[in-house]
Structure 1
Amino acid sequence: MGTTGRIHYLIFFSHISDDHLSSDDSDDEGFLQEMSPRDKKVESLVSMGFREDEAKMVITRCGQDADISVLVESICRSVAAGASYYERDANSKEAGLDYCGSSVRRKRTKFMEKKKINGKRFGGGARESGGSIDGRHEESMPLPNPMAGFNLPGDRMSMDRLLPKEAIGRSFFYYENVALAPKGVWATISSFLYDIQPEFVDSKFFCAATRKRGYIHNLPTANRSPLIPLPPKTIHDAFPCTKQWWPSWDTRRHFNCIQTCTASSALTERIRAALANCEDPPSPEVQKYVFEQCKKWNLVWVGRYRVAPLEPEEIEFLLGFPKDHTRGISRTERYKSLGNSFQVHTVAYHLSVLREMFPDGMNVLSLFSGIGGAEIALHKLGIHMKTVVSVEISKVNRTILKAWWDQTQSGTLIEIADVKDITDDWLESTMRKIGGFDLVIGGSPCNNFTGSNRYHRDGLAGEHSFLFYHFPRILGCVKSVMQRMQS
């Protein structure tokens, strides 16, 4: 790991509890149980990129019972004070140590100030000292109603905003996740992404499905333009053939958020039986039961008394993907892949400002690529992708994206499976070969955010959603390399 990468780890992991560190690698659990508490902490620090002798030294200084966050912050203080082993390394100055040291000093001071002051900016009271990294001890960031973002297609005015100097310009970045996250999550995400205010948008303004998402980006907000033709924005406009069977008491105009699973045939049969065995119109009790199930599972009316789940092809249409984009894999995998994807028209509206900026094409770093929602949005905007580095853990999703790419694109696609494999050295080498990244885009897993996850809704501390922290780690490295390349 390069010097810049170690500094990022100092910042991003400076207040992680022992539980968070041990949750990412279940294969090591049995081994760690046989280790002493001291050795466990040494192992944790080494896994973050610290040297073993440095880890042992800080444990001796702070004590074996010190929390891992205290140990890492102690190293941060050493770096800020100029006592780190970086400055004892003869090669450190050549690696740009003075810049890194001042960066740690500024960011750590900023972080410590945030821990001391209250959370008024995010609409809440004072934060508890030593709060969790996932923001559970912070107040909730207020969500707008309606979730119309900074502007919508057709709006004459757009919201003006001031971005921090270090966030402006190339490389542009765009981060997405579910809006209805646990308490404090968006405040924490914002604090790791230059304190930029999230743009909360419900995709019902772009299609016939509700999809409430938050976006943090440094893109301009003026002169956006939607994809043409505009997609239908109500259920009956999207699927007019269902209208003849739609009962008047089912008042839905938009589908609920697209999920990663679908209703069972047993449920649809229970609904059919309930309606067939009662008067027309059904009693209020039956209407309420059927309506709630239809809303929860996005069921459509396909006949008298008959409801059915949306087909994968219909979900592709709602989300803005090409027809049969996910065809060729199992239905279960299709629902899962689509449920975790971008809504293409919403993302394309935000990215449309890049069209005039990069008439000759752009290089993209796509983190947590999924089935290529960002790439398809750029393609539909007419933006040539010269090189895309796609990072996606799912082999099924990589297969879908690769098949689409080979059929539609002339640029270079570089595929990487695990975001943890993206090192600073590899990034700099790749960026110098291709001329840097113009856009870093992605939406980390929301598994531990969503309300449907009743057992592991752990916010940013969750096993999957914890991967968010790799986004600012990688983004920080990209911006640092871009500065060096442009100087």
Structure 2
Amino acid sequence: MKNVARAPKGVWAKITRFLFDIQPEFVHSLHLCEAARKRGYIQNLPTENRSPLPPLPPKTIFEAFPDYKMWWPSWDQRTHLSCLQTCMASAKVTERIQRALSSSGNPPPQSVQKYVRHECSKWNLVWVGKNKVAPLEPHEMEYLLGFPRDHTRGVGKTQRYKSLGNSFHVDKVAYHLSVSRVMFPNGVTVLSLFTGIVGGEVALHKLGIHMRVVVSVEICKANREILRSWWDQTQTCTLIEIADVKFLKDDEIASYVSRFGGFYLVIRGSPCNNLAGSNQHHRDGLEGKHSSSFFDYFRILNSVKSAMATMQPNRCSTYAIH
């Protein structure tokens, strides 16, 4: 399971209690890339012999985007981007910054510098010209998150930002899943809950782990389109799509377990809106509109484990990452 590390008080304790008292592992993406994205993971995969995906991603803004260095003022001392969000700064924000800088000297007064630095950090704005800042483009966010270029292309720009902001960081998840290469040399059957834009599946693919079957549950139509596009380009095996976890009942889970010989990897994405510190309006924890899906995950995971124990009493290990 992946969730925001700085979730509201009590959330992680509750998640841990429901998920068999497995303690979360908190990972900061600055160890793997140039965007600050602290996340917590609960998973029962082995932790020994994990390894990052080569090549290692860039660690600073200028390593990722060297062209921006040309216009970057010395008083903006950012070396890393802030947490990638689900929405971008409006044109009004960037226009106000440009006006403030154009009417100031060089360098601008401290008050203007402070204002501009705050807005740039808040919205992850980058310098694209003289006194000119702009939001990251979707393909730049794809790159930062470890997706192939144009992975989300084909859906609206606003939706691309939203889907990317809620996504797994591919390199980070691949680090956790890297032990699966030894555990599943003949491939793996995957139950993917709240699939999003297939960050977990892209990680498995980049690790060279064959996905024999993926049963994907994702409510967002645009995300399902992204999934199908990526799957058609990279995979040849069985994909089953379900539009909502509410449709995945215990008898259907048992049927899939019997049909495919079990699910040996369960991956759950997580819409972070009700947990993220940047959301000051509806930070409702696990009871929030989006994050309450955790309880469906708990129900489904228990159902999978029960069905597999019935089918193979002596070989019923299911590995999950949440």
Q: Tell whether 2:304 aligns with 1:478.
A: yes
Residue 442 of structure 1 deviates from its aligned partner by 0.8
Residue 266 of structure 1 deviates from its aligned partner by 1.2
Q: Which has the larger radius of gyration?
A: 1
Q: Distance in 1 between matches of 2:250 and 2:67?
A: 53
Match of residue 355 from structure 1: 181
Query: Secondary structure of the equivalent of 1:376?
Result: helix
Q: Distance in 1 between matches of 2:169 and 2:291?
A: 20
Is there any run of 5+ residues in structure 1 with no aligned partner, and where? 1-174
Match of residue 228 from structure 1: 54
Match of residue 380 from structure 1: 206
**More relative contact order, 1 or 2 (CA 8 Å, 6+ apart):** 2
Q: Residues 81 and 121 of structure 2 are in contact (CA less than 8 Å); yes or no, is this contact kept in structure 1?
A: yes
Residue 247 of structure 1 deviates from its aligned partner by 1.0
Match of residue 156 from structure 2: 330
Query: Secondary structure of the equivalent of 1:452?
Result: coil
Match of residue 260 from structure 1: 86
Q: Look up the equivalent residue of 1:318 and give its one-letter code.
A: L
TM alignment of 1:33-432, pairs within 5 A: 175-432=1-258
Residue 453 of structure 1 deviates from its aligned partner by 2.5
Q: Distance in 2 between matches of 1:251 and 1:265?
A: 23
RMSD: 0.9
Q: Which moved more, 1:185-194 or 1:250-259?
A: 250-259
TM-score normalised by the chain length of structure 2: 0.96
Residue 451 of structure 1 deviates from its aligned partner by 2.5
Q: Distance in 2 between matches of 1:367 and 1:183?
A: 25
Residue 443 of structure 1 deviates from its aligned partner by 2.4
The one-character-per-residue Cα deviations of 1:298-343 (angstroms, maximum 9, x if unpaired) are 0000111110000000000000001100111111011011011000
Q: Residues 445 and 468 of structure 1 are in contact (CA less than 8 Å); yes or no, is this contact kept in structure 2?
A: no
Q: Percent of pairs identical after alignment? A: 66
Residue 197 of structure 1 deviates from its aligned partner by 0.8
Q: Look up the equivalent residue of 1:416 and give its one-letter code.
A: I
How many matched pairs?
313
The one-character-per-residue Cα deviations of 1:28-52 (angstroms, maximum 9, x if unpaired) are xxxxxxxxxxxxxxxxxxxxxxxxx
Q: Which moved more, 1:453-462 or 1:272-281?
A: 453-462
Q: Tell whether 2:281 aligns with 1:455.
A: yes
Q: Distance in 2 between matches of 1:448 and 1:329?
A: 24
Q: Residues 127 and 133 of structure 2 are in contact (CA less than 8 Å); yes or no, is this contact kept in structure 1?
A: yes
Is there any run of 5+ residues in structure 2 with no aligned partner, and where? 314-322
Q: Residues 166 and 270 of structure 2 are in contact (CA less than 8 Å); yes or no, is this contact kept in structure 1?
A: no
Q: Look up the equivalent residue of 2:87 and give its one-letter code.
A: C
Q: Distance in 1 between matches of 2:180 and 2:279?
A: 36
Q: Look up the equivalent residue of 1:453 and give its one-letter code.
A: N
Residue 411 of structure 1 deviates from its aligned partner by 1.2
Q: Distance in 1 between matches of 2:185 and 2:8?
A: 40
TM-score normalised by the chain length of structure 1: 0.64
Query: Could you list the runs of 4 or more consecutive aligned residues of structure 1 that deviate by over 3 angstroms after TM superposition?
Result: none
Q: Tell whether 2:234 aligns with 1:440.
A: no
Q: Distance in 1 between matches of 2:104 and 2:23?
A: 52
The one-character-per-residue Cα deviations of 1:113-158 (angstroms, maximum 9, x if unpaired) are xxxxxxxxxxxxxxxxxxxxxxxxxxxxxxxxxxxxxxxxxxxxxx
Query: Secondary structure of the equivalent of 1:389?
Result: strand
Q: Look up the equivalent residue of 2:176 and give its one-letter code.
A: H
Query: Secondary structure of the equivalent of 2:173?
Result: helix
Structure 1 or 2: more helix by fraction = 1
